[in-house]
Amino acid sequence: MASSCLNSLILPPCSLPRKLTETYASLSSSYPALNPTSSSTGGALKPIVINGDPPTFVSAPGRRIVAVGDLHGDLDQARCALEIAGVLSSDGQDSWTGGQTVLIQLGDVLDRGEEEIAILSLLRSLDIQAKAQGGAVFQVNGNHETMNVEGDFRYVDSGAFDECSDFLAYLEDHQYNWENAFLGWIKESKRQREDRKLSQNHWGPWNLVKRQKGVIARSILLRPGGPLACELARHAVVLKINDWVFCHGGILPRHVAYGVERMNYEVSHWMRGLTEDDETDPNFPFIATKGFDSVVWNRLYSRDMPGLEGYQINQIQSVLEETLRSLGAKAMVVGHTPQTTGVNCKYNCSIWRIDVGMSSGVLNSRPEVLEIVEDKARVIRSKSDRFSELQAVDYT
């Protein structure tokens, strides 16, 4: 069961001066659940074990888990969320500060914002740093990732097309060395963004040409088999870490029966361009990526529909419980549907909804993240522009 706010304490805001950051560090030592490197036993933690390609089942004994919802191309809000989660430095150096923490981002990095590739580059950089400290960073793909690989660019911000053009040129400058270009983009993107702002008022009638160039660049990067699509193919659509299941939309019993590892493989295979790019191919990942009840589109658990009768609510809870039982999981964490009241749980806290619409392209709401320590969940939220507050809700 869940209780309401059990305790709260003031934490430093995003990107505060070093002095306040040190205060945060001293607070963390007094609150083990906030300390990214603490162990309940005080001893060394066992290594993280990953099964599946892409990763599907993860054993992370004793680790603090932090989940971040939809980011939609807003790098500033993404950084803020990662800072209040205690995994990103506030000095602008983009250093991992989470120790052995496991970070999971629930998809929809793409669309509605202009710094998508920069966010993806930052997350990959943090993963490399985290692994060196005994932690890890995982991502799952959402519906906006799969839409873009399909060539559906309806929700792409104009600045994101520009970012694709600039990044493709940057990749060419690096002689198509993907690792060097992709990892370096988080620093290079700042300069490129500033250059775009200086020149954006001088395009005049050439805007159409500029847009066409951006569309072509995006198509090259994100078509099945394209370099950015292959980067997304490294990530699952369903990921189980310890006893918690993470996905963008929601998993149903039929998805479990089909096979979680099978779905992850098929989506990855498709993104890599290894299947025919049409729905007649028997290996096209329809069950995971197409339809209102697919894994990346499902809103059964995340959307509260007014007027539901009690028996209908019970039916939804039964479906959720059956799914979790089949997966051997205690709870599911989803994004996809912005929660105007902030991160919350439902059905005896067996489902957590963590998309708060933080991107300026969605609701521009205050960042919030979910922290899980020893099966107890806490919501960490930015209280205002100047302060942050931890509000805890225990999961049992």
Is 144 annotated as catalytic?
yes
Q: List, in sequence order, every residue forming a beta bridge with 380; answer none if it has no partner.
A: 369, 390
Helical axes 158-173 vs 207-222, angle rounded to 10°:
60
- List the 368-373 sheet strands across, edge first: 8-11, 388-392, 376-381, 368-373, 65-68, 102-105, 136-139
For residue 308, how many other CB atoms are within 10 A of its CB? 12
Closest CA to 264 of 248, 276, 279: 248
Reduce the DSSP state of residue 205 to 3 states and report it: helix
CA distances from 63 to 36, 118, 169, 221, 310 (A): 8, 27, 40, 35, 38
- Rounded to 5 degrees, what angle do the CA atoms 268, 269, 270 make? 90
Marked catalytic residue, from 72, 144, 235, 336: 144
CA 78/CA 273 separation, integer angstroms: 29
Catalytic residues: 144
